Chains A and B, each alone.
Chain A
């Protein structure tokens, strides 16, 4: 049986893995705030250091994290180009270059030191943001733990009639059935290929149309599964979240609280570093 790698969870026993998923959700939010607080070189250096430490503590191979950054390269390149060319500052680095456009218009290229710094900060911010969230959440938390954590954290929303439990249940079921449906898709595709179906040639419309023999059976089967699952859940006395107990109760431990305190302290530290005015501060 082909094993389908699902999600990005990297199984390991590390400090980061062991943090309570609720704490991790809060930590992630705070960490995102921290990345946006950073304003100057010192602050960004501290931020980068924190990301490196986090990666080391999580035991997630660096190779895996770098791979997840790959799709971002275009966005990073684009934003840094905009920053380099569009930021106006006081330290002009280029002579008065000018590229003639149509008519009397021309584009005056002016690159300032501030632009380069801004570009660098922007890249750092996005990269650290991604490393931080992926290490704190996707690589070290199982999807099911994450769903559970979100359900608990959103509990107060019940007061304004948000069906928190139902949302969590639906997410769990979706997660449970993703591998099943992926396997099924593969099976149906093979069956239709065996009847000469061609999914790769032709234009966009033809290709979309050629997927019908896969999508229709998949949909029919998904509905059947849903129907059977509903019956099976009823047989197991499912009647919503009312009166339901939980086998896996999460306990906040000292370490979890400590981690949250640590990150708040880190945020405060960054604010102080920002005020040191060292070298260049972003506007």
Chain B
């Protein structure tokens, strides 16, 4: 099942001015539901632009962004002939139906950011409330939920973050960098988005902080079965935590598929200006030097497993 489809999407900055710049060039891709998808690309490859298109903060210059098959930027004109046939509108008077359809389009646009939760780069900069509780509650409050519901969501979100509940009464400005980041992500998780999009969620954190962030995301994904999209330039992290990968380079998609598929073509990845995981580089080198080892290795676990097999067969062959 595809949750999100980008259909021939292009995006131009400063269109029509001398500063015009193509950020996305005829990009078509699909993002599977209930999976963690990693979008990898170097700075300026268009990945951050793409994230803003997913929750409607920006609109593509051309092409469509479909969420559950619905073009999130659809105009009244485009949907009217289709929707008027639906049972809920078919029985209305035409003028009433028109009004209702217009209202639904507006409502969909408004609620889009709650369905597609976006965590921007360095999200700790968005914290502003006196307490962590209030800050996490900001999103749910904007959704118009009841106090009761908000409370439940805040507590749920803080559990996903792995932080102690006592932190809820502290000021977000008193926390450490990694804690702030986890609180900021909890603030988006509390809206229970069907799609959680994270831009470079672990940037600048140390290994422990990085792991805690990825675990928060993974816990949320597993508990809710939502779709997660992570954007990063670290192939090492993405290989570790994602099930599906999309590689962007110079505003275009150059590879998509399972991690195995993507890493089986190392020579292609070398041209994208990305850091190839050390372990992949190592196994590549071993193969070059005559060791019979597959090329699509991207985690230490798999490398250990394969090398163990090779070692044992070598030991066994007498």
Contacts and interface: CB of A to CB of B under 8 A. Distances in A.
B138 interface: yes
B143 A196 contact: yes
B125 A187 contact: yes
Nearest to B138: A195
What size tier do the contact residues of chain A reach?
20 to 34
Contacts of A187: 120, 125
A91 B188 CA distance: 74
A213 B142 CA distance: 12
A187 B57 CA distance: 11
B191 A191 contact: no
Contacts of B55: 194
A220 B14 contact: no
B41 interface: no
Contacts of B44: 1
A194 B117 contact: yes
B127 A190 contact: no
A127 interface: no
Contacts of B57: 190, 193-194
A217 interface: yes
A209 to B, nearest CB: 12
Nearest to A213: B128
A71 B251 CA distance: 40
B19 A3 contact: yes
A64 to B, nearest CB: 14
Q: Which of A194, A196, A217 has the most CB of B within 10 A?
A: A194
Given A3-B14, A187-B120, A220-B173, A195 B128 contact: no
Contact of A221 (B117, B125, B138, B143): B125
B105 interface: no
A198 interface: yes
B3 to A, nearest CB: 18
Interface string A77-95: 0000000000000000000
A135 B114 CA distance: 49
Contacts of A197: 138, 142
Given A212-B128, A217-B127, A190 B52 contact: yes
Given A3-B14, A190-B52, A191-B120, A196 B125 contact: no
Contacts of B70: none
Contact of A196 (B119, B123, B142): B142
Interface string A189-232: 01111111110000000000000110011001100000000000
Interface of A: 1-3, 184, 187-188, 190-198, 212-213, 216-217, 220-221
Interface of B: 13-14, 19, 44, 52, 55, 57, 113-114, 117-120, 123, 125-128, 138-139, 142-143, 173, 187-188, 191
Q: Ordered nearest first, which 7 A-B pairs have the shortest CB separation?
A: A196-B142, A216-B128, A191-B126, A194-B118, A195-B139, A191-B120, A213-B128
